[in-house]
Every structure is written in C-alpha cells, then in structure tokens.
Structure 1
C-alpha cells in the first residue's frame, strides 16, 4: 500500500494574474484565490483549489473570509502584488500569524498623505506637503516652497490624475480637474477609487525606481531602474540598470533604505520611486509589492532572479528559487503611444520590429477599430517593446529602433 502524496503548501493569493498563479504552482504551491467581482478571470478557477469573489477594499471582510478559509486549507502564506489588494493581504497575514511586509505598512504606503505624516517625524526624510482640500492649500505650499506644484491623488495608481501647476493663474483649472478626478469616472474606479489629493512642490530631475527584497528587515537592492516619463506623467519606458554613476546610485539606495527602515517594511518586495535632481533625492512614493509594468520581468532578464517567484516563496516560508541565467547585462522597455485621438486603421511593422537585433519581445494590444488617445494614465498605452543588450545604451538603442519600425495608422477623419 503506497502512502498518500504529501500535502502541498497552500497559498492564499489576492487578485493574482495567470502569470503569478502559474509561478505559484511551479513552486509546488496550491492556490486559493480571492478576486474582486469586477476584475475576475474565470480561466484561473480550474487552476485553484478555491476561487472566491469578494470586495478586496473591504479589509475586515477579507480578513473574515480568509479566517474561515484558513480553517479549511491551513494557509502557508498570503500575498498580493496588485495594488488594491496589498493592504488586505498584509492584514490577513498579520491576523493568521503568517509572514507580512510589516505591521500595517502596506496600508500606510497605499495612502500617500499618511506616508507623509509618518515621514514628518524624521528630519532627514520629511518634505513640504499638505492635504489638498481647496486651492488655498496649494497657495500655502507655494508660499512656503514656491512654484511649480504637483497635485496628486493620495491613493492613485497608474499616474491617474497627477497634475503640474506652474503658477497661481493655472490653479483654478487644476482644481476643476481635481474635482473631476474625485468623481471617479475612470475605467477602474471600483478597485482603484481616488478618495483625496495632496499637494507638494514639483521636484525637477530624473526619475528612478528602486526594486528591493527584504528579509528580516535587511533590504537587498535588486535594481535601480530609470523611468522614462511622458508629458502627463505616464511612464513611457524603463531602463535596467539605470545609468547612474556610483555616487548618485549610492545616494539613491541610502535614501530608499532609510525610508524602508523608517516606515517599517521588513519582509518581501518593495517598489520605491524617487526623483534625483543634482544631489537631492526626492521620495515620490513606495509600495509593498513588486513594481508594476512587469518590471520584475526586466529584472529577470538582467539578473536571472524572479521577484514574483521570490515573493511567493518567501510568503510561504520556502527557500527562494535559484536564479536562471541572465539574457543580457541590460534590458529596456519602451511603450507604444498614440500621438492623437482617433480610431486605429492598422498597426504596421510589428514583425519587422520583433526581428531586429537585440529585440526580446514586441506586444501590441490595440488593433483596427479601436479608439485611442494620447496617454493620460497607464492603461492608455498601446503596446510595448523589450530589448536586451550588453549595456543600457545598447538595449535602449535597440528598443528605439523597434519603436520606430512600428507605425500606428489612424482612420481619416
């Protein structure tokens, strides 16, 4: 008589993609999946022991649901790398005594105003800011720090609703646009509602993200990534590794590590954004998850390490999986964007772009008949090119050549 196969550890995953579910299964984990009713993917259900639809923004409700499921499945870990679900995932982990990013750090980082309030307690990390309840708050910050200003949602995502105000003459129009954003008419308002705004001085400089993985409060910097940003503050590309000299890289890393220590992020991935102008490193925001825009896939191309797989393994108390051979010393992603609003007639040149030297992949998610517009949020982007190379400049040049090979033809108006 053969013994039954040992039971696989069970992961409670909140709002996971097919990519993440597949990685969990490949690690030898079984998955119980919680999804928001408005963002479900029924094709994942057969892959999971159980799929439950629930409001992921209702943190007490998610904790109660998870507690009941834990009685049945005995979770080894819980996690999410989807922004709306990170606070609930951490709350569940704390409730069940499982590995968590910290003690409320995911919810703290979700609220940029609360994050500022915590940073205000550190003379080295605090900066000028205010909650934005009306134009007078912006005028007060401008009086202290000068123009221009940035107005941004306290809980926004995908660059939605971020506004630069160059002077007092632009403030009335900016406040009108703030109120419009607060009405939450955007595509994903049910899982990414905007509940408030803050105002801070505009930080002029180059933008970067720092991708870290923490264990026991020790922060491993996996990469510093240069961000390319368009006119509406929408990210138009990512370069790994960022072409920073050693001194500026050290300043960026030191600032981010001090920040993570101060807010209490101790376990798992974090994605922290900064602006570097001269010798100043301005903290923009941070998240207790892997970076969006599939930044982890770029890191895998360069380092061989998979941040998402590491997140899943660490959450469940498993050893981190071994690194794969890297494909290049650098990787660059560039997004395809519309330069005007209209209907797409055709997208030409994708096969030619994919065949160019150094190009790793080309993906286009628009086609004939689609209505497009210049990007005001990340979901307005139309496709992407990823290139690899022996250095960042070579990979960037390959990505640029591929972008130039692709033509978005619009219907005549």
Structure 2
C-alpha cells in the first residue's frame, strides 16, 4: 500500500520579510513564497522559502502579475507585508486573489500622505489645513490659514527622512532648497524609498504617540498606546510602552484613531497610527497599514504577551491568532544611541556593563571602530538601542537611562 502524502502546509506570499518574520511564519506551520526588492534582497532567506523572487515592489501592477503566476503554482492562503514600501503591493495582490486585505486600497492610500489628507478633507471632524508643496507660495498659503510654524514632509517618506520644521517666512527659502535636495533622492535607500513629492501642514505642538491596533471585520483592538521620544531632526529616539497617559487623554487618543481607521476604511490586520496630543487636542500625523517600525511589536510582546507580527501572518492566512505568552513586565522602554557630532568612531565602551544592569532586557550596538557617524537625520543613522522592562513605565525608563549613561561613544581625534 502506498503511504498517503503528508498534509500540505498553507502557503503565505510574503513581501519583503525579515528573517524574524520568516521564522515566525514557519513557526505557525506556514510555508513561504518570498518576494524581495533586488536592492534589498537577503539571499540567506532563500533556503527557508519554497520560492524567492526578486522584483520591483513599487511596481504594483508588476507585482500583481508575478503573484498571479505564482498563485497558479502554490495556491496562496494569504499575502502580507510589514515593510512600508511593499504594503500597497501586498494589499493589491490580496484584493486581486480574493484574500484577506487591509481594506480596498487603504494601504496605498496611507502610503500617500497627500491622498490621505484629501480623504480626511471629507470629514469636518478629521480634516486639518494642508497643501501639496510645489513651491514656497504653497507654504505661505497654509501659514496664512493656520499660522507658523509649519512642517514640510515627503508625501511618501519613511524613517523621518526629509521632515523639516519652518519657524517663519525668513526660513522658507532655505527649507525649499532642502526639499529640492531630498527630491533628488541622494539618500541611502532611495531605490526602495524614493521621495516623489512634498506636502506642507501646520506644526502641531505637543507630545507624540503611536497607537498600535489590530482589526478584524472592521473592529479595532487597541493593543497599546506608545509614547514616542523624538529628537531635533524628528528622528525617533525612543518608545515607552504603555504611554503614561491619564484615562481621559488616552480615551481621546483612542477615539480619534478609531474614527480615523473607520473613515479611511481599514478593516483587517495591523495599523500603526501616529498622533500629537497638545492644547489643541489630538492631531493626526499619519498612519500605516502595517505593524509599527522600530520593532515596536517586540516591545508590545514584552508587556502584553501578544505578538502583532505573528497575529498578522496568521490572520492573513485565515488561521486562529496564536496564544499569548506570559508578559515579561508591566512596561517596556526602548532608547536609541545617537552621535552628538560627526566623526569616526574609535571605540564603543560600556555595552556589556549596560546589559548587566537591573531591568535591562537587551543592548544592541550597530556601530564600531572606523565607522563614520553623524547626528541622526533619519532612523538608519542611529547607532544602537537599549530595551528595559519594569513594573511601570517610570521604572523601565529609569533603567534604560542608566544603561544609556553606561555606554560611551569615543571618537577619533581630528
């Protein structure tokens, strides 16, 4: 008698996944077909996948055509991505193949911050002044309506790249020149994160937060409100989970984000929505149909026991969400290491001592002797990170601060 074949594992089409995400998919009992951008491909992932294909993930019709052909061979149970440049293509493939999608074009909408503003303009409760930035006169028009300062930012940017604050008309010519420089796409990741345009909006003063949600059938589960620490160039320098907000302000934040998700039509899977809370209330900054960057999902797992990335993979393929693990602490804090001046690194001292301090969960250093560093103007120019846990946000933040002080970045003498 011929033995029966083993049951086939569901196949996930993953766009631009990291090793961490691929491993989680395999751990859920999924097989993976992987699409990667040629300029960011990781060949070490190829042996883990049924098939690895290099393709331009920004070419959405091209990705859909590739996915159709692969679907004929593998019969995908789901498709997803948590990498910003690939989210629109992943949603388009899901819609084309009749699989679970964040919405009907919502990932592409959120990718384009100008289009997001156009949709919000239809809601008196959610709209705010803005304009596409084609020249200094657009900024002057918004300032005439809302006042100074202003924020200039890419319509399709990421990692805080190219975000500028303009305090008054005297700074506008210099800011416009910097905008044009960014539009020339000379930055490190220009091939996968090209900047194609800018918008202008009022600067919102206040404290910055992100809201991490997971939606099913249009119902939004708020997994956490996270406080963001932000540096002078709008680069995120840390995250605190949960945010130290009183119940009233937390409710105002959550209500506004849920209203926003409903308005734009995000109904399935993770979302990462950024807001600023100040005297004027809750200001919507931007949102993404994916898990938060900076490995925010790992911080949430430490505190809640739930894994947003694993949930994303399971939900995309129609599987039950995996069980939660025991939380490690009631709060978790991440702090980034930054250079305070440009130069070449001679040594990084104190990392082992920092890792041994009470409350410190992990220390990772990404720079070393001989590297050229500078004060960060984008997220990829940060030099390392510290994660700490504690019984509350204050205790975790204090542990992270002690670890930061224990690490010294020594620079070569000029």
Q: Secondary structure at the match of 2:345?
A: strand
| C-alpha deviation, 1:278, in angstroms | 2.6
In 2: Cα distance, 1:144 partner to 1:255 partner: 23
| Residue ranges of structure 2 left out of the alignment (5+ in a row) | none
Calculate the TM-score normalised by the size of structure 1: 1.00
In 1: Cα distance, 2:210 partner to 2:144 partner: 30
| C-alpha deviation, 1:5, in angstroms | 1.0
Does the Cα contact within 8 Å between 1:154 and 1:197 map onto a contact in 2? yes
| C-alpha deviation, 1:246, in angstroms | 0.1
1:174-205 per-residue CA deviation (whole Å, 9 max, x = no partner) reads: 00000000000000000000000000010000
In 1: Cα distance, 2:121 partner to 2:148 partner: 21
| Residue ranges of structure 1 left out of the alignment (5+ in a row) | none
1:154-184 per-residue CA deviation (whole Å, 9 max, x = no partner) reads: 0000000000000000000000000000000
Match of 2:21 in 1: 20
| C-alpha deviation, 1:4, in angstroms | 1.4
1:304-361 per-residue CA deviation (whole Å, 9 max, x = no partner) reads: 0000000000000000000000000000000000000000000000000000000000
In 1: Cα distance, 2:61 partner to 2:12 partner: 19
| C-alpha deviation, 1:279, in angstroms | 5.3
Match of 1:242 in 2: 243
In 2: Cα distance, 1:271 partner to 1:366 partner: 28
| C-alpha deviation, 1:24, in angstroms | 0.1
Does the Cα contact within 8 Å between 1:332 and 1:386 map onto a contact in 2? yes
Q: Secondary structure at the match of 2:220?
A: strand
RMSD between aligned alpha carbons? 0.5
Q: Which moved more, 1:1-10 or 1:384-393?
A: 1-10
In 2: Cα distance, 1:229 partner to 1:106 partner: 25
In 2: Cα distance, 1:60 partner to 1:167 partner: 42
1:59-98 per-residue CA deviation (whole Å, 9 max, x = no partner) reads: 0000000000000000000000000000000000000000
In 2: Cα distance, 1:31 partner to 1:381 partner: 31
Does residue 382 in structure 1 map to residue 406 in structure 2? no
In 1: Cα distance, 2:21 partner to 2:53 partner: 17
In 2: Cα distance, 1:315 partner to 1:279 partner: 38
Does the Cα contact within 8 Å between 1:163 and 1:174 map onto a contact in 2? yes
Does the Cα contact within 8 Å between 1:296 and 1:308 map onto a contact in 2? yes
1:30-50 per-residue CA deviation (whole Å, 9 max, x = no partner) reads: 000000000000000000000
| C-alpha deviation, 1:386, in angstroms | 0.0
Does the Cα contact within 8 Å between 1:333 and 1:386 map onto a contact in 2? yes
Q: Secondary structure at the match of 1:326?
A: coil
1:105-138 per-residue CA deviation (whole Å, 9 max, x = no partner) reads: 0000000000000000000000000000000000
Calculate the TM-score normalised by the size of structure 2: 0.99
In 2: Cα distance, 1:278 partner to 1:203 partner: 9
1:136-158 per-residue CA deviation (whole Å, 9 max, x = no partner) reads: 00000001110000000000000
In 2: Cα distance, 1:203 partner to 1:88 partner: 31
In 1: Cα distance, 2:289 partner to 2:67 partner: 20
Q: Secondary structure at the match of 1:12?
A: strand
Equivalent pairs counted in the alignment come to 413
Q: Secondary structure at the match of 1:164?
A: strand
Q: Secondary structure at the match of 2:56?
A: coil
Does the Cα contact within 8 Å between 1:248 and 1:279 map onto a contact in 2? no
In 2: Cα distance, 1:399 partner to 1:296 partner: 18
In 2: Cα distance, 1:401 partner to 1:375 partner: 22
In 2: Cα distance, 1:306 partner to 1:278 partner: 34
In 2: Cα distance, 1:69 partner to 1:144 partner: 51
In 1: Cα distance, 2:154 partner to 2:44 partner: 33
